[in-house]
Chain A
């Protein structure tokens, strides 16, 4: 992984309304232990990442949005490969940030991702 590595994030269908994605998509949940799961773009592209997530892991995803390692760094967020669950797995590391800081970074990451546009979208109605 390097500064230009793409980090692909799956978006749950419930996290899209009228085509808009919630910034929760980039906010670690309690079970994430401050490590937000993504796919390492050096090892897998967005379409294959979606296929793996929905096919092999059997989770639900409406598509893939993507940030870059250097964008994370600009927000003081490190990222690293974490191949334990599967080889293409990586994480964006949220440190001991406050609630407000975590919210801010999630919103900023989403803004980076949306500026890039959907990298893969499952075929569904927009409703």
Chain B
């Protein structure tokens, strides 16, 4: 067997900085090989218009293999492995390389608003539904353009463009994390329905490994039991979630899970309170979720969370005989703390700058005190 250098795409983004590649993304490279085969056949037929099909066994004895992962974010080194001992390149090898170049040029066209279908047939674009699906915001898979210094970047955005460049494709799949309630379970069809926090309902396949969790969440539907689900969602061209193709992880959420509650609050519209309440800004809610999770340890009791009339959020804790509140200004990142011990009448109030870690430390100490413990 002979192996020859084929390509060295580069994963960029914080997940790849330690020069490793998550297995889920490595798996997508196998789809890339499937795509190469189909595009190679298409390229062959394009160059041989007299033929109706590619030669029998066209791609037999030839495959793409991973020979290593190099530094530089993370670079999977792909080689082409050829079983034959012939000295000269086979047709298949030539067309694998043509296919590679076509794919890279199509990705580049997507990132430069060029004509994608100039480089790839529409039917081949469907492979991108399974290539690049695991890329997250800020991440990319970069390819060097043949004979150029420019780089083609496959990102969440360019992947969407590649898929929707095909007039046949009306939907795409993406990784998704969502929270909601289990409103329906069909054990005959092994499906369930998840009711999102905005009230919408979506169907999902029910794997036997998730059955117990789903049934428990379903039993708690009326009392507000929520789940967090990670899987593959199917979206239409407008980005609307249609259903779930697969479910990888499901977990029951704490009834007071703050991120789920803030997501629920994000669905409020202006005028929610007697026609005048301002809806909290989505960016502000995301900031609060992130900053809270980064400063408050898991063993700290979740606060209750409520919208305020002026577009803020108010966190409240019932600890011992005390009731405490933290009214948060989502734009200014400031807050007002007030605690009242109902039995003694003792109270404490203070303004807090939530951009300062030591202010969060102060808050954590107050919570610990009220719980009757130490930080």
Contacts and interface: CB of A to CB of B under 8 A. Distances in A.
Query: Are the chains A and B members of one assembly?
Result: yes
Interface of A: 12, 14-15, 17-18, 20, 22-24, 29-31, 57, 59-60, 99-100, 103-104, 107-108, 110-111, 125-127
Contact of B222 (A20, A29, A111, A125): A125
Interface string B345-375: 0010100000000000000000000000000
The 5 closest A-B pairs by CB, nearest first: A127-B224, A100-B349, A103-B338, A22-B306, A29-B309
Contact of A12 (B221, B255, B272): B272
Contact of B304 (A18, A29, A103, A110): A18
Contacts of A99: 336, 338, 349
B274 interface: yes
A59 B272 CA distance: 9
Given A14-B265, A60-B272, A126-B224, A103 B349 contact: yes
Interface residues of B, number: 36
Nearest to A100: B349
Given A14-B265, A14-B272, A17-B256, A24 B308 contact: yes
A80 B223 CA distance: 38
B260 to A, nearest CB: 11
Contacts of A125: 221-222, 224
6 contacts: A14-B272, A23-B316, A23-B325, A57-B274, A99-B338, A103-B349
A107 B338 CA distance: 10
A127 B325 CA distance: 22
Interface of B: 181, 221-226, 255-256, 261, 265, 268, 272-277, 304-310, 314, 316, 318, 323, 325, 336, 338, 340, 342, 347, 349
Contacts of B340: 103-104, 107-108
A103 B348 CA distance: 11
A55 to B, nearest CB: 14
A68 B306 CA distance: 25
A78 B316 CA distance: 27
B325 A103 contact: yes
B358 to A, nearest CB: 22
A29 B349 CA distance: 19
A8 to B, nearest CB: 15
Given A99-B336, A127-B223, 7 more contacts: A14-B272, A29-B309, A29-B310, A104-B340, A107-B323, A125-B221, A126-B224
